[in-house]
Structure 1
Amino acid sequence: MIQIFAEYWRPFLYSDGMRASGLVVTLWLLAASIALGFCAAVPLACGRVSRNRWLSTPVRVYTYVFRGTPLYVQLLLLYTGMYSLEVVRTQSLLEAFFKSGFNCAILAFALNTCAYTTEIFAGAIRGISHGEVEAARAYGMSTFTMYRRLILPSALRRALPLYSNEVILMLHATTVAFTATVPDILKVARDANSATYQSFESFGIAALLYVAISFALVAAFRRAEQRWLAYLRPAGAARTSRT
């Protein structure tokens, strides 16, 4: 393993002006897809819990489709299926976008994680205490103000433990990016395995890198939970943690 790492540490870890390392590509895939999915999931979650069927039904269909089909199939549809359509090939912007495997991977990951995140946030919104909502209405808040100042902040905090699991799962899901010829960590490991035929060492290095990223994400979310969910802990536990 040390010999392979000494030979392939640059593709795994080092980025120069011409090419990004597998670690950087993986982190960029994760960050971009999570950011896009989060931004889209917040308004979609509000529509998901809406009593207006014109709003909730399309969101429900979207989440069911993307949660009910494998991410691998979704990536293949976007990377190979979309580019085969004549309407895509005849439009210069669409052709340039779907011709890039990196763009297709980010789009597939963002749509997939957005579907799961929408359901997580929608469940957190439904879990808001009815008394809190009634108090906000009695105070004279409009629906928009109530969502902005009460419902969404409380729901996002409560959804943090489940959302952290979704981020970790999304990190694991980035391993299918090699299908679109994206040079992520797994792609570098596959190249090392093809060149050296040392499968255990090649994929073992990739596993260690994924474990390190996972531990870093878990630590970051645990710290966030301790800060933003401290009010949910018993008073005695809060005093103990401060001491």
Structure 2
Amino acid sequence: MTMTTGFIEARRPPAAPARSWTGARITGHVLMALWAIAGFFLLWYLTEAYFSPFFEKYAEKYVSGFLVTLQIVGISLVIGALLSVPIAMARNSRFALLRWPAYAYVYFFRGTPLLAQTFLIYYGSGTFRPELASVGLWPFFREAWFCVILAFSLNTAAYQAEILRGAIANVPKGQWEGAMALGLSRPVILFKVILPQAMMVALRPYGNEIILMIKGSAIASIVTVFDLMGETRRAYSRSYDFQAYIWAAVFYLFLVEVLRRVWDMLERRLTRHLAR
């Protein structure tokens, strides 16, 4: 009996050393205290600045720029979503004639900066003004607003196409096989069976892409579009008051935080059956 007990004790793995979390807890409390202090001073500063002549003078401009930012991001995301579906289908196609052009499109727009793409469309289109005017497209390309929408839409379409392609590839092949066994056609399977499941997988990456588009929309101000950052630059150039950029940061933070909370609610709503 003693030998058996000794054998069992010999086979028992050594106990893991107790870890002390005292240092980590202290560090966490210190960081939280620093964030609380920084938040208090920022709130105090914004409260004081709210009643300043600067905010009274430029508040309407900030709201106008904020709405322009929402329009740019919203329109670009919708157009990009519409373009991403055929691009993702082409990326997954068995035909090289469809697959390779879609790959080249995604590779270019994901591999080059959005700023360079915007410059190529806005400034580069002037090189082809006679050709564009002959087909009636010059009124479109001479407007910075339309050039920004086009550049942002093409850029986000490439990212959304890759998100959608990866989400579709993540759906088990048994879903295709089961739907085919029921006699459903491939388009019906894709839009009624595969895409709804893929969208649940793609929800989080889509939310990240929207946030990146919101922050990247500041590029529009460089080509004379007076979005939120454009109005910020104009306010600073006239007042030389540093709080111009602080208010811009607050507006961007507010927009991103609202979107994050809405997206979390949407994700919980659409995936509530998985939690069960």
2:55 counterpart of 1:5: yes
Where does residue 215 of structure 1 map in the other structure? 257
Normalising by structure 1, report the TM-score: 0.90
The one of 51, 65, 68 aligned to 2:94: 51
Per the alignment, do residues 88 and 202 of structure 1 end up closer, same or farther by CA in structure 2, a change over 3 Å counting? farther
Root-mean-square deviation (CA, aligned residues, Å) is 1.2
- CA deviations 1:198-234 (Å, max 9, x no partner) are 12x000000000111101111111111011122333x
Identity score, percent: 35
- CA deviations 1:21-54 (Å, max 9, x no partner) are 1011000000000000001111211111112211
Where does residue 22 of structure 1 map in the other structure? 65
The residue identity in structure 2 corresponding to 1:10 is E
The one of 136, 139, 144 aligned to 2:182: 139
For 2:136, what is the secondary structure of its paired residue?
A: helix
For 2:137, what is the secondary structure of its paired residue?
A: helix
The one of 206, 210, 234 aligned to 2:248: 206
**Long gaps (5+) in structure 1:** 14-20, 236-243
**Long gaps (5+) in structure 2:** 1-48
The one of 223, 235, 238 aligned to 1:192: 235
The residue identity in structure 2 corresponding to 1:215 is E
The one of 225, 229, 232 aligned to 2:274: 232
Considering Cα pairs closer than 8 Å and 6+ residues apart, tell me whether 1 or 2 has the greater RCO.
1
C-alpha distance in 1, partners of 2:163/2:184?
25
**Structure 1 residue 195 displacement after superposition:** 1.0
Contact 1:158 1:229 in 2 (8 A): no
Alignment of 1:1-243 (within 5 A): 1-2=49-50, 3=52, 4-13=54-63, 21-91=64-134, 93-199=136-242, 201-233=243-275, 235=276
Normalising by structure 2, report the TM-score: 0.79
Contact 2:129 2:138 in 1 (8 A): no
C-alpha distance in 1, partners of 2:136/2:196?
37
Q: Which moved more, 1:147-156 or 1:30-39?
A: 147-156
**Structure 1 residue 144 displacement after superposition:** 0.9
C-alpha distance in 2, partners of 1:168/1:210?
10
- Across the two proteins, how many residue pairs are aligned to each other? 226
**Structure 1 residue 162 displacement after superposition:** 0.6
